[in-house]
Structure 1
Amino acid sequence: MTVARLAIATHNAHKVGEIWGILAPAVPGLAREDVASAGELGAPSPVEDGVTFEQNALIKARALAASSGLPAIADDSGITVDVMGGAPGIFSALWSGRHGADRENLELLLAQMADIPDEHRGAAFVCAAALVTPDGGELVVIGRMPGRLTREPAGESGFGYDPIFVAEGESVTNAELDPARKNEISHRGRAFRELAPHVAAVLGG
């Protein structure tokens, strides 16, 4: 039986696979069975009461490192809109009042931005990725994907605000991008690729 060497603070198996896929090329010998989700480890979800992406990522990673005794990684992410002072920010997933209501969230944001001209519709996806070790070591890195908001949703891939966001240098929304291309330029991909060498060092890779 393989014993996990790294814990990932999520209960979403798809997200575990996605993060492992980002880390594996940069972490020598990291097999899929070396990582385990909070759900697989029976760890509860902590209250995310931070006021920044960094704080919430650390809350999740600290809790999982403490409960599992393993090095733990976590992320917190969302969309920030320039003319809204960085909102929705940490409230991205519940912007419309109900957590994870993707369509309602993006429709509300589009309505709030309806009178904003195209040249002022700048936005960015932001991801804070945290690594916490059981001995108290901590590191947080930030990944950003700058771009702009569209006026209408387009595309069927992705999730969240992807249908109304066009990344810098692209001509289609995130929801229309090839998934491999999206992962290459995404905020989460950038954050975890930066974190990967530090994960490798912690695991002795």
Structure 2
Amino acid sequence: MTGRILVASRNAKKLRELRRVLAAAGIEGLEVIGLDEVPEFPETPETGATFEANAIVKAVDGAVATGLPCVADDSGIEVDALRGMPGVLSARWSGSHGDDDANTALLLSQLSDVPDERRGAAFVSACALAIPGRDPVVVRGEWRGRIVREPRGENGFGYDPVFEPEGEKRTSAELSPEEKDAASHRGRALEQLVPTLARLAKA
């Protein structure tokens, strides 16, 4: 029998990422589904001051509405020269939610006068797992690097084309999906949930 686990997202790339993490960990028996595959329910606005707060709200909403275990992530980029911004505002940095090109262009313009040695940044992901009847679990993953001056690469989404991870000459958008999973902030966070997900798969 296959159990189902809801990912509180309509982003197909996030669903594929969790599927790859489960496969890499050898976890079978969990079908990963997204919000488009369950009846619509009221979603609480993401107004939390931290990635963790937003992730927990999304995961609990999904679990309560569907009765399924629900994984939710809130992620973004923290730029040293901008004192940790855009942070939780990453997806709507330019004013409209989810406009990757506009968000990236605004970030690059804000950093145009910042020298290379001060362009440090970190991708951050908080992943929450809510199981009906239990307290939610939340974990955090970080991926350090720097902001380059021009977008490069076609893979990934969000700020991937302008983020060069530590120890790399390629941006996150130039890495293969498998390379990104192995190192990324969301991959690092999801990996911490693997023991709980493995127990769910056997339940």
Q: TM-score, normalised by structure 1?
A: 0.91
Classify 1:139/1:46 alpha carbon distance in 2 versus 1 (closer, same or farther; 3 Å). Answer: same
Unaligned 5+ segments in structure 2 are: none
- Counterparts of 2:32 and 2:151 in 1: how far apart (Å)? 35
By how many angstroms is 1:4 displaced?
Answer: 4.1
1:123-147: CA deviations, max 9, x gaps? 0101111111111321111111100
Give 2:61's match in structure 1, choosing from 54, 60, 63: 63
* Residue matched to 1:171: 169
Residue 6 of structure 2 corresponds to which residue in structure 1? 7
Q: Could you tell me which amino acid in structure 1 is paired with residue 123 of structure 2?
A: F
User: Secondary structure of the equivalent of 2:36?
Assistant: coil
User: SS at 1:105's partner residue?
Assistant: helix
1:12 counterpart letter in structure 2? N
Residues 23, 192 of structure 1: 8 Å contact kept: no
For 1:27 and 1:70, locate their aligned partners in 2 and report how far apart those are by CA, in whole Å.
21
Partner SS state of residue 116, structure 1: coil
Instruction: Kindly report which structure 2 residues correspond to 1:1-205, keeping only aligned pairs within 5 A, or say none.
Output: 4-26=3-25, 28-31=27-30, 34-44=31-41, 45-204=43-202
- Contact persistence 2:27–2:201 (CA under 8 A): no
Q: Contact 2:81–2:119 at 8 Å: present in 1 too?
A: yes
In structure 2, what residue type is equivalent to 1:59?
A: V
Q: How many residues align?
A: 202
For residue 193 of structure 2, give the secondary structure of its aligned residue in structure 1.
helix
Q: CA RMSD in A?
A: 1.8
Percent identity of paired positions between Structure 1 and Structure 2: 48
- Following the alignment from structure 2 to structure 1, what is the Cα–Cα distance between the partners of residues 26 and 107? 38
* AA partner of residue 32 (structure 2): V
1:3-57 alpha-carbon deviations (Å, 9 max, x no partner): 64322111234422221221233363234xx232222111333321211110111
CA distance in 1: counterparts of 2:169 and 2:2, whole angstroms: 44
